[in-house]
Structure 1
Amino acid sequence: MYGITFNGKHSLKDMGLYAESKTINAPSKKKITDSVPFMHGLYDFSTVGSNGEQVYDTRTITVTLRIIAYSMEELHTVYSQALEWLMDAGKQKLQFDFMPDFYFMAEVQDAPDWDKFLKYGLLTVDFMCDPFKYSNSYMGDDIWDTFNFLTDYMQYTNGFEIKEPFTTVVMYNNGRVITPVINCSSSMTLRVNGEDKEYKLNAGDNKVWGLKLKNGKNELIFAGSGTVKILFRWESL
């Protein structure tokens, strides 16, 4: 038997509900299309505003939770407690026991079906989730128990020494395109992957709009002096 963790509680350990089944649906692409008379097919504008990056809609995860109750009173009590656990919160981390290295950001918008719970001791819960799942650890943590030899990289992300006139830092991203947090000890400038655009970084944490790390190898050229930390969680469908 396994459970889920949501809103700070584990379904089995804290609520007495174990996950009997689950359906993790894939997200759909967000498509913006238009056509004009006499043309073949459609114009696809879906990636115009995202600088070529495919964007996705929310995904639905359905989990069926079961309880073995010995009285109607117990059923009512557990159902009420389950509603407070599931409904009395906004978007929260949702994690499955069988997927310890990733979590989803999810929210329950509609109350689980009471009739099914009453008859069969089953609680069907629909979670509305962000399209991607997120790694529990930051890139560079290199936690051996969850290291995936097919996709993960072993790399250093902390305390890069930046020296005048510039220093090149190579960073690998094993997930989707991501905006990292760059912590600088002093003000610097940055260019990424040979782009002409220059990003200005202040002392402290920087999360700059438009600064993206692509999947795979990235070259970050810092101009200035001091130390830099690069923090990001990888994202996956």
Structure 2
Amino acid sequence: MIRQIKFNNLKSFDDFELKIKSIEIAYPTPKTIKESVPFQNGDYDFTELYGETTYNNRSIKIAFIYDGFKAITRTKLNSFYTKVINWLYNAGKSELIIDYEVGSFQGRVINISSIEVLTCVGEITVEFDCYPFRIYKQSEGNIPWDDFNFELDYLQETNFNVLVSKSINIINSSSKRISPTVICSESFEVIKGDTTYKFNSGTTKDWRFTLDKGDNNLILKGTGNIEFVFRKEVL
């Protein structure tokens, strides 16, 4: 099977006959926030001031080769270049799927090398600037059995039927805090620690309500159905 990427709703080999030569996926670097005070040894480190480390974007470089140059006219060759460049540059920020990676990346193309033609083979290198975290395709609680990783994933419920009150635990196995979408059949109160969040019936995204990394003990108050929808994000 020929490896390929999907970006801007098109596939590198199926749509352009580009074969992957190499892929370099860099890990994101932490954003270090430090302040120095005159006459003080060292400095103050505010990197985790709000409870967790934040990260810079990650770089992904992919080298493609194209061996369809035999008996091709200059006009068709220029047309091919134009189609590839338009596919990559006109996408803006889009989902990048590498077929052998679990999950996807979000990013944009920031650099395309000039296409080099050696004999009948062309080579082009594309650099993507991506959101630091890799995002799972399936939401938590709905990971297909064939994709389930027994070392990293958790079998858990994220959809609950409640009669007056219920205590639950949701595990966020992401590398960061996550703000889930909350879907309620009726109005609910969700108590996390000392804070109470109120959700009306319907679908709500409240950026103040987050699931911490690891265990999240919640108390649900209301009668009806409530669901927490979120996808795991990992480095």
- Cα-to-partner distance string for 1:89-116 (whole Å, 9 max, x where unaligned): 11111011111x3100010133x122x4
Q: Which residue of 2 aligns with 1:139?
A: 140
Q: Which residue of 1 aligns with 2:4?
A: 3
Q: Percent of aligned pairs with the same residue?
A: 34
Q: Which residue of 2 aligns with 1:213?
A: 211
Q: Please tell me the residue identity of whatever aligns with 1:109.
A: I
RMSD over equivalenced CA pairs, Å? 1.5
1:210 offset after TM fit, Å?
2.6
Q: Which residue of 2 aligns with 1:55?
A: 54
Q: Which residue of 1 aligns with 2:189?
A: 189
Check whether the contact 1:185–1:227 (CA below 8 A) recurs between aligned residues. Answer: yes
Q: Which residue of 1 aligns with 2:124?
A: 123
Distance, in Å, in 1 between the alignment partners of 2:30 and 2:81 is 35
- Cα-to-partner distance string for 1:114-149 (whole Å, 9 max, x where unaligned): 2x4344611110001001010011111130121111
- Cα-to-partner distance string for 1:153-176 (whole Å, 9 max, x where unaligned): 112223x11221x21122122212
Q: Which residue of 2 aligns with 1:95?
A: 97
Check whether the contact 1:170–1:217 (CA below 8 A) recurs between aligned residues. Answer: yes
1:72 offset after TM fit, Å?
5.2
1:1-237 equivalences under 5 Å are 1-48=2-49, 51-68=50-67, 69-70=69-70, 71=72, 73=74, 74-99=76-101, 101-110=102-111, 112-114=112-114, 116-119=115-118, 121-158=122-159, 160-164=160-164, 166-176=165-175, 177-192=177-192, 195-237=193-235
1:3 offset after TM fit, Å?
0.9
- Cα-to-partner distance string for 1:46-81 (whole Å, 9 max, x where unaligned): 233xx2121111111000011012135343222111
Distance, in Å, in 1 between the alignment partners of 2:45 and 2:215 is 29
1:35 offset after TM fit, Å?
0.6
Gaps of 5+ in 1: none
TM-score, normalisation: structure 1: 0.91
Gaps of 5+ in 2: none
Q: Please tell me the residue identity of whatever aligns with 2:42.
A: G
Check whether the contact 1:171–1:217 (CA below 8 A) recurs between aligned residues. Answer: yes
After the TM superposition, which parts of structure 1 deviate over 4 Å for at least 4 consecutive aligned residues?
none
Using a 3 Å threshold, how does the CA distance of structure 1 residues 47 and 216 change in structure 2: closer, same or farther? closer
1:214 offset after TM fit, Å?
2.1
Distance, in Å, in 2 between the alignment partners of 1:156 and 1:148 is 17
- Tell me, what secondary structure is at the counterpart of 2:161? strand
Distance, in Å, in 1 between the alignment partners of 2:185 and 2:142 is 21
Q: Greater strand share, 1 or 2?
A: 2
Check whether the contact 1:75–1:118 (CA below 8 A) recurs between aligned residues. Answer: no
Check whether the contact 1:95–1:104 (CA below 8 A) recurs between aligned residues. Answer: yes
